Amino acid sequence: MLQEEAKQFLKLCYQELGKDYNDRMTKILQEISDTGTYTHTYEELAHGARMAWRNSNRCIGRLFWESMHVLDERELETEDEIANALFFHLQYGSNQGKVIPTITIFKPGYVRIFNHQLIRYAGYETKDGIIGDPDSVAFTTFCESLGWRGEQTPYDILPLVIQVENREPKVYSIPEECLLNVMIKHPTIENFQELELQWYAVPFISDMKLEIGGITYEAAPFNGWYMGTEIGARDLADEQRYNVLPKVANLLGLETTRDSTLWKDRALIELNEAVLYSFKQAGVSIVDHHTAAKQFKQFEEREAGKGRSVTGTWSWLIPPVSPAATHIFHKDYDDSVVKPNYFYQDRMY
Ligand code: HEM
Ligand SMILES: N/C(=N/c1cccc(CO[C@@H]2CCNC2)c1)c1cccs1
């Protein structure tokens, strides 16, 4: 099984790198029969992580798959060393707002990061309702069970929770210099900032596993930049998230008593325009869903040129705002799963 996965990956990887794979294949098969596993070279690891992004069916941002920076931290052993590598990744990937798509890869079978994203707001269940991000309530409660205490504001940054081997998970507050936040304001509606909306600048997904040639990296956090609708049409807009559309509509003086005034749609557009404007003003990379769709079209064309077929999940690739205004809506995609790839894994709390 591992031999087969290794063979398949190596053949394709070395073909794409323009290298002969015979010698390497022999060495790997020997290592697998000696030790039951094998260790990727940095080149195999880096190209495998990029191939996994290229194969991510639900990702609209794949045009840039070859440019991802890969930080190899497989030799780290202690929770402190790992926390410091994560603090480094936060600063390196954020790059003062000029976001660099980056992945850090830790020793397989040894490290787990409990966070869904390295930077996320806490959620608190109170008798008067939820403070903060409802999506974070379970993880926040878990952090509190480990002794962590937040300030109970709607935008508290959660700590990192790192587990090595089967030791107790350790909790680390994120240093200020690793954090970048954007206050949401509107280009023409002056009192929009009265809503006091904000969001963190850069998404770092930290709970997916990376599978390359039969080796599973359970801790391989990766960042890119946001597509505006993720924040403006989901994180801040969903009823079961920050649910701000009624507040935006009131600020805009919209008639909210009838659906047919399309007040929700108008509020959504103003909020998404404000998100894109605020990120640009703050010098933080972000892409609107029309530009992202055009970039994805370029990705499809480039892959065809390389003789590779593109797999995708239509329902995830279409943006949540004006989906039919993008080419993606008007075609269908083969949702087959190709490896290397990123996968969900069981929650640790
Ligand atoms: C560079 C800018 C990037 C943009 C604008 C982008 C955009 C997106 C968006 C909008 C989604 C859907 C998320 C959702 O609906 O919740 C997504 C999903 C995804 N992206 Fe990308 N992405 C980028 C980079 C990356 C990178 C660097 C990786 C990994 C190396 C990646 C891997 C994925 C994966 C695995 C999913 C599916 C997540 C899931 O199934 O929950 N993306 N991307
Ligand atoms: N823009 C992004 N968006 C996402 C990419 C992958 C996953 C997610 C969050 O997915 C959650 C689980 C299902 N929807 C929300 C968001 C990126 C995050 C890290 C690199 S690029």
Specify whether 230 is catalytic. Answer: yes
- Active-site annotation holder among 225, 263, 273, 300: 225
**How far from the centroid of its chain's Cα atoms is residue 76's Cα?**
23
Report the distance separating Cα 82 and Cα 86, nearest Å.
6
Specify whether 59 is catalytic. Answer: yes
**Mean local confidence (pLDDT), 282-295:** 99
Q: How confident is the model at residue 115 (pLDDT cuts 50, 70, 90)?
A: very high
**Mean local confidence (pLDDT), 195-210:** 99
**Mean local confidence (pLDDT), 325-337:** 98
Helix, strand, coil shares of the chain, percent, nearest 5, are: 45, 15, 40
- How far is ligand 1, taken at its centre, from the CA of residue 310, in Å? 15
Using DSSP bridges, classify how beta strands 102-106 and 69-73 pair: parallel, antiparallel or unpaired. parallel
Please name which ligand lies nearest the alpha carbon of 118: 2
Whole-number pLDDT of residue 149: 98
Report the distance separating Cα 162 and Cα 88, nearest Å.
15
Which residue has the least CA distance to atom 3 on ligand 2?
226
Give exposure, 42-55, as e/b (b: 16+ Cβ within 10 Å).
Answer: eebbbbbbbbbbbb
Regarding an ipTM greater than 0.85, the answer is yes
Whole-number pLDDT of residue 174: 98
Whole-number pLDDT of residue 140: 98
Whole-number pLDDT of residue 127: 97
What DSSP element (H or E) covers 242?
A: none
**Mean local confidence (pLDDT), 267-285:** 99
Could you tell me the two tokens for 321? 């705002």
Does residue 227 contact residue 60 with C-beta atoms inside 8 Å? yes
Count of alpha carbons within 13 angstroms of residue 275, beta-carbon side: 27
Which residue has the least CA distance to atom 1 on ligand 2?
226
- What is the per-residue pLDDT across 8-62, written as a single tens digit (0 to 9) for each? 999 999 999 999 999 999 999 999 999 999 999 999 999 999 999 999 999 999 9
Which residue has the least CA distance to atom 8 on ligand 2?
205
Specify whether 149 is catalytic. Answer: no
- What is the per-residue pLDDT across 95-114, written as a single tens digit (0 to 9) for each? 999 999 999 999 999 999 99
Nearest atom in ligand 2 to 101's CA: 20
Does residue 237 contact residue 199 with C-beta atoms inside 8 Å? no
Give the contacts of 274 (CB within 8 A, at least 6 positions apart).
184, 185, 186, 187, 189, 192, 197, 232
CB neighbours of residue 178 within 10 Å = 19
Whole-number pLDDT of residue 97: 98
- How far is ligand 2, taken at its centre, from the CA of residue 37, in Å? 31
Alpha helices in 146-262 (DSSP H): 228-229, 245-251
145 residue type, one letter: S
Whole-number pLDDT of residue 253: 98
Whole-number pLDDT of residue 129: 97
- Active-site annotation holder among 5, 16, 230, 303: 230
Does residue 143 contact residue 328 with C-beta atoms inside 8 Å? no
- How far is ligand 1, taken at its centre, from the CA of residue 58, in Å? 7
List the beta strands (DSSP E) in the chain: 69-73, 102-106, 111-113, 123-126, 129-132, 160-164, 170-172, 181-183, 198-200, 204-205, 209-212, 215-217, 222-223, 226-227, 286-287, 341-343
Whole-number pLDDT of residue 19: 98
- What is the per-residue pLDDT across 215-271, written as a single tens digit (0 to 9) for each? 999 999 999 999 999 999 999 999 999 999 999 999 999 999 999 999 999 999 999
Q: What percent of the chain has pLDDT over 90?
A: 100
List all residues whose CB is within 6 A of at least one atom of ligand 2: 203, 205, 222-224, 226-227, 230
Whole-number pLDDT of residue 108: 98
| Average confidence score pLDDT of the chain | 98
Whole-number pLDDT of residue 315: 99
Task: Please check if 143 is assigned to a binding site.
Answer: no
- What is the per-residue pLDDT across 79-92, written as a single tens digit (0 to 9) for each? 999 999 999 999 99
Whole-number pLDDT of residue 251: 98
The verdict on the CB of residue 53 being under 6 Å from ligand 1 is yes
At 105 the three-state DSSP class reads strand
Does residue 255 contact residue 261 with C-beta atoms inside 8 Å? yes
Whole-number pLDDT of residue 300: 98
The verdict on the CB of residue 215 being under 6 Å from ligand 1 is no
C-alpha angle 5-11-16 in degrees, rounded to nearest 5: 125
Specify whether 13 is catalytic. Answer: no
Does residue 215 contact residue 221 with C-beta atoms inside 8 Å? no
